Amino acid sequence: MAVNIEVPLSGGAVSEGVVRVGETVRRPLRAHSPAVHGLLRHLEDVGFEAPRVLGVDELGREVLSWVPGEVPQRPLAASVVSEDVLRGVARLLRRYHDAVASYEAPAGAPWDAETSNVDGAPEVIGHCDVTPENVVFRGGRPVALIDFDLARPTTRVFDVVTALRHWGPIEDPADRDAGLYGVDVGRRLRIFCDAYGLDRERRREVLPAARVRFERSYRAMRERAERGGGWARIWQGGAGPRIRRAQDWLEWHWDELDARLW
Ligand SMILES: Nc1ncnc2c1ncn2[C@@H]1O[C@H](COP(=O)(O)OP(=O)(O)O)[C@@H](O)[C@H]1O
Ligand SMILES: [Mg+2]
């Protein structure tokens, strides 16, 4: 008889009750799970690598496929913060957007509605959480996205900004991983936008979108934290002041970053 050992997964430290069982991942079902499942099925149909929906288990949890490979751990290794990987993440996000552009989500699909967004007509179902912990690597290269919990209709630029928040990073140096402490963020933003293929006009939207996103995500996170759970833990760990420091850093470096974007 096969023994199904449950291994807790805590990469992102937000979701509680995420476990690995063999070649599957079990996660609590949420109100937005049906919308995410539709998206994951579309990605499977068009051949973009992401977890596959395998069903619901006897405990009422969603069953997703385990994506083979490595997910970065903290502190991030030098190889993960290299410019080659940065280009790879940008191309992966571009491939994701191109793969999802053809997806007609059902009207009224219950996407996560509590997180921040930018204004502007939605263009794609963004991943909206492209942290290092949500990218799977093989042979040192980023090959797949996981954790579509925050996916929702948004603009391509908003999704680029959510990725750059972590991969630039748009962050106060004091809060960065050691490997990103002294990097030239302006150069990295440019590399990312070039590899993504973001055209000149749209690059003008990147810093303003980052500014709006910071303020809205501060408020959204504070509201979520009031309800307890993983977000409360993150908030108590200092997420609020960290966003405030990142905002200040962005404002101080705005002109310099702006000049480097194209
Ligand atoms: N389908 C999967 N394939 C491979 N690894 C996974 C998968 N799902 C989760 N993981 C691992 O578990 C960690 C936490 O899962 P995730 O779905 O990202 O939850 P959280 O909401 O906590 O970020 C990830 O960072 C990754 O290391
Ligand atoms: Mg995650």
Give me the mean pLDDT over the 152-158 stretch: 95
Distance (Å) from CA 255 to ligand 2 centroid:
32
Q: How confident is the model at residue 11 (pLDDT cuts 50, 70, 90)?
A: low
Distance (Å) from CA 12 to ligand 2 centroid:
4
What pLDDT is recorded for position 14?
A: 65
Distance (Å) from CA 201 to ligand 2 centroid:
31
Pick the range with the lowest mean pLDDT from 54-58, 154-158, 221-225, 228-232.
228-232
Distance (Å) from CA 183 to ligand 2 centroid:
24
Rounded Cα distance between 200 and 206, Å, is 11
CA angle at 175 for the pair 170 and 180, rounded to the nearest 5°: 65
Return the H-helix or E-strand segment holding 164: helix 156-167
Give the model confidence (pLDDT) of 19-53 as tens digits: 999 999 999 999 999 999 999 999 999 999 999 99
Beta strands 19-21; 61-65: pairing state:
unpaired
Q: Residues of the chain with pLDDT > 90: what percent? A: 88
Closest ligand to Cα 21: 1
Closest ligand to Cα 146: 1
Alpha-carbon distance values, 47 to 39, 41, 50, 242, 245 (Å): 12, 10, 9, 37, 39
Closest C-alpha to ligand 1, atom 12 = 9
State the Cα torsion 243-249-251-256 to the nearest 10°.
-140
Decide which of 3.40.50.80, 3.30.465.10, 3.90.45.10, 3.90.1200.10 is the CATH code for 83-260: 3.90.1200.10
To test ligand 1's pocket by mutation, which of 9, 27, 134 has the most ligand atoms within 8 angstroms of CB? Answer: 9
Domain boundaries, the chain: 6-65, 83-260
What pLDDT is recorded for position 12?
A: 60
What pLDDT is recorded for position 15?
A: 76
Give the model confidence (pLDDT) of 171-190 as tens digits: 999 999 999 999 999 999 99
State the Cα torsion 188-207-135-149 to the nearest 10°.
170
What pLDDT is recorded for position 13?
A: 62
**In the structure, which protein residues have their CB atom closer than 6 angstroms to any atom of ligand 1?**
9, 11-15, 18, 25, 51, 64, 66-67, 71, 133-134, 136, 146-147, 149
Does position 200 have pLDDT exceeding 90, yes or no? yes
What pLDDT is recorded for position 119?
A: 77
State the Cα torsion 44-47-48-49 to the nearest 10°.
70
Does position 75 have pLDDT exceeding 90, yes or no? yes
To test ligand 1's pocket by mutation, which of 24, 71, 73 has the most ligand atoms within 8 angstroms of CB? Answer: 71
Pick the range with the lowest mean pLDDT from 10-24, 158-172, 189-203, 223-237.
10-24
Give the model confidence (pLDDT) of 210-235 as tens digits: 999 999 999 999 999 999 888 899 99
Rounded Cα distance between 39 and 152, Å, is 10
